[in-house]
Every structure is written in structure tokens, then in C-alpha cells.
Amino acid sequence: MPSGASTGSHEAVELRDGGDLWNGSGVEKAVKNVNTVLREILVGSDVSDQEAIDELLIEADGSENKSIMGANAILGCSMAAFRASSLVKGVPLWRNLPGTWPDPSLPVPLMNILNGGAHASTNVDVQEFMVVPYGFSDFGSALRAGTETYHALKKTLGERGLLGGIGDEGGFAPSLQKNEDGLRLLVEAIERAGYSSETQMGIALDVAASEFYKSGKYSLDGREIDGADLSAIYSSWVDRYPIVSIEDPFDEDDWSSWVSFTERGHDIRIIGDDLYVTNPLRLQRGIDESASNSILIKPNQIGTVTETLKVMGIANQEGFDCIVSHRSGETSDDTISDIAVGTGCGWIKTGAPARSDRTSKYNQLLRISESGLPYSGWN
């Protein structure tokens, strides 16, 4: 199961062994839970009844945050049943989603090509600078454009002596004088690759502000500022750059700053990740307070396929956009690609076009695109 370097404190618990072996990150306890307690309750169950299977898993754990069995153990079982059901029915995974959803479509990828924050050992505070190839007629063309922009950025960084290592999600990880320099670099890369930053490709940010928030202040570019000052910075960036979304612009519990920024009415997606952690109760608070207009969806934050889809259903009913997402510590499993397609959510976030844990999702979307489904960006 995937794991996050930047995690919300309200997420379901990823069970780790602790101790000295594997630097404390072993998962023998979680694996034992799968092979004993969870196996016993699942053997003989109807694999086509996803909700019933997930309810058994939730009851076996018994805690509010999956801390007994571990969300990593529970989600592995839930997703295994989901895949098994698809095989039994003889249908693609994206056609096997329980519930009623909009027409399936290929999602627009948010491609993290410049890494900072907890994803890189640099001085850049913003965690992810992403390109968003929305202005194309099909997914393959959009993926190619994003990949060409990724390599254009590499050339630019190399020419300026900024080409160093690679971050957790496959993007380049330069040290920059200011966070805003990342925005300038992405616009330059888009245009260098031969695309328009006005009609074909935008920019998305994952600020992950909880990572640089302490005692009511945010530390950005070496300055200590409050939520109002940070909100003003974001507004200036939105005015000057082709930004289409900002994820986690404020701390996970700084609700007042979220509400204030959303009230400004910028025509962008304001996405809650650490704020909501794919949790229906936290999402409902965000809806009630108009704290944002979009939610990031990570199955391992909540622990089962059923609960993940429940949150997406609530978001759909309230007019929130859903962005299905990977984690910084990923596996080669490509289930989130099918979830994004089958729910017709329109957006997927799964890293740079590099490394097998990221390209596995893109390759699955390319395979699904052969079925002739429409590309969300074009619409």
C-alpha cells in the first residue's frame, strides 16, 4: 500500500512495526493481520458485495482510525476484493465501481514536475509545482505534452546550473531563491516545449502548508507571516500566472484562513487534502463552512474502497470537484487510474512522467483510452 511523506494528522493510521528493523517502518504486524484475523472473516464472503466486505473489515478493526488492523492492511484486502470482483464479472475495473456515477472519462493529469517541501531536500517551501495539460482532444496528446514540458524544464534547469536531484514524485528538485521562481520556471518550460500557457496547459500547486506552519505563523521564503498575508501572496500569484488549482494552501486546522481565501472567489480549484483526509465528517464541515471547492481523494487516508467512493459521492452532490491522488511513497498498483475513470471525476494527480510507480498509472490510463472514452480536458 502507498505511504505519504507529507501526511495529515487526521488520516487513518498506517500500521508500522517500530523498533530497529527496517528503521521502524516494517509492516509485519499489518501483514500478520491480513493473514490471520482479516483472512478468517473474509474467506467465504461474496466478492461481488464490496460494501459488505468493507463493513466486515471496518468491524474487525473496531477503531475510528483503523489503528488496530492498520489502514494499510484493511485497504489491501478491500482493493483485492474489488479486483477479484472485476475478474469474476469479466469487466474492466473502471466499469466495476459500485454506485451511480457520471459518465466515465479520461481524467486530466496534474503532473508534478518540480518538487519541494517534504518531497525534496531543498529550500523550496511549496511541495509540488504541477503542469496541467487540459487543452487537448485526447489523453495521449495531453500526456505527451506534459512529458515534453517535463523535459523542457530539465533543459532549462541544466542551462542555469539548477539541475540537481529528483524528488519523491519524480520531479526535479532545484534550490530556488524564491518559491515564485518555480512558477516562472514552469511557464517557461511550457512555452519552451511549444505549448500555450493560456489555452493548453496550466499550473497546479500543492503547497502542503501544514509542513511550514507553527504557532499560528507560516514560514515562506524565510519570512514569518499569518494566514491573511499568505492569502494575499496566493492571490498575487493567481493574478500573474496560469494557476488552475491550489492544494492545501493553509494548515489542516486553520479553517478561518481556508474560508477567507475561498471567499475571494478566484476562478480556480481550492483543494483540501490534509484538510479533509478523504474523511466524510471533515468534508461535511468544509462544505458547511465553504472552506474550499474541491477535495483530494486518497484511498489509504480512509481505508476502504467503499468509504473512498462514499466521500466522492458526497463531494459530487455538493458540487465539489474530486481529484483522485497517489501518495509520495507509491507502489506500481494502478487502481486509482480506474477509480478516476469510472467515477468520471475528471482529474488525477499521480506525479511526474518518470519512475514505474508513477508511469504505471499513466500507462493504465493510456490502455483505457483505447476504449474511446472522451478526455475530460477537452470538454
pLDDT score at 271: 98
- Structural element, H or E, at residue 318: none
Query: Which residues lie below 8 Å from residue 265, measured CB to CB, with a gap of 6+?
Result: none
The class of domain 21-92 in CATH terms is alpha beta
Query: Which residues lie below 8 Å from residue 367, measured CB to CB, with a gap of 6+?
Result: none
Contact 350, 109 (CB under 8 A): yes
The class of domain 108-369 in CATH terms is alpha beta
Contact 26, 19 (CB under 8 A): yes
User: What residues does 202 pair with on adjacent strands?
Assistant: 132
pLDDT score at 120: 59
Contact 362, 133 (CB under 8 A): no
Residue 51 catalytic? no
Q: Residue 5: which region, alpha, beta or left (left: phi > 0; alpha: psi -120 to 50)?
A: alpha
Return d(Cα 122, Cα 120) in angstroms, integer.
6
Q: Which of 11, 14, 128, 169 is catalytic?
A: 169
Q: What is the residue extent of each domain of the chain? A: 21-92, 108-369
User: Could you list the pLDDT tens digit for every one of the 379 residues in the chain?
Assistant: 555 445 556 778 888 889 989 999 898 999 999 999 999 999 999 999 999 999 999 999 999 899 999 988 999 999 999 999 999 999 999 999 998 999 999 999 999 999 987 655 678 999 999 999 999 999 999 999 999 999 999 999 999 999 978 887 889 999 999 999 999 999 999 999 999 999 999 999 999 999 999 999 999 999 999 999 999 999 999 999 999 999 999 999 999 999 999 999 899 999 999 999 999 999 999 999 999 999 999 998 999 999 999 999 999 999 999 999 997 777 889 999 999 999 999 999 999 999 899 999 999 999 999 999 999 986 5
pLDDT score at 378: 61
Matching fold, domains 21-92 and 108-369: no
DSSP state of 35: I
Return d(Cα 216, Cα 227) in angstroms, integer.
8
pLDDT score at 121: 60
Return d(Cα 90, Cα 213) in angstroms, integer.
49
Q: Sheet of 223-225: strands edge to edge? A: 213-214, 217-220, 223-225
**Assigned C-alpha cell, 15:** 500500521
DSSP state of 106: B
The pTM assigned to this predicted structure is 0.93
Closest CA to 324 of 332, 185, 335, 333: 335
Sign, CA dihedral 161-165-170-173, equals negative
pLDDT score at 4: 47
User: What residues does 110 pair with on adjacent strands?
Assistant: 349
CA angle 341, 350, 123 (to 5 degrees): 155
DSSP state of 167: -
Return d(Cα 192, Cα 29) in angstroms, integer.
50
Q: What are phi and psi of 88, to 5 degrees?
A: -60, -40
pLDDT score at 187: 98
**Assigned C-alpha cell, 193:** 516545449
Q: Which of 66, 298, 310, 349 is catalytic?
A: 298
DSSP one-letter string for 220-236:
ETTEEE-HHHHHHHHHH
Contact 102, 344 (CB under 8 A): yes
* Ordered alpha helix ranges (H), the chain: 28-33, 39-42, 50-61, 71-89, 139-159, 180-192, 227-240, 255-263, 280-289, 299-302, 305-317, 335-343, 356-369
* Ordered alpha helix ranges (H), 103-226: 139-159, 180-192
Query: Which residues lie below 8 Å from residue 259, measured CB to CB, with a gap of 6+?
Result: 289, 290, 291
Closest CA to 66 of 273, 283, 280, 301: 301
DSSP state of 3: B
Residue 169 catalytic? yes
Return d(Cα 50, Cα 316) in angstroms, integer.
20
pLDDT score at 7: 56
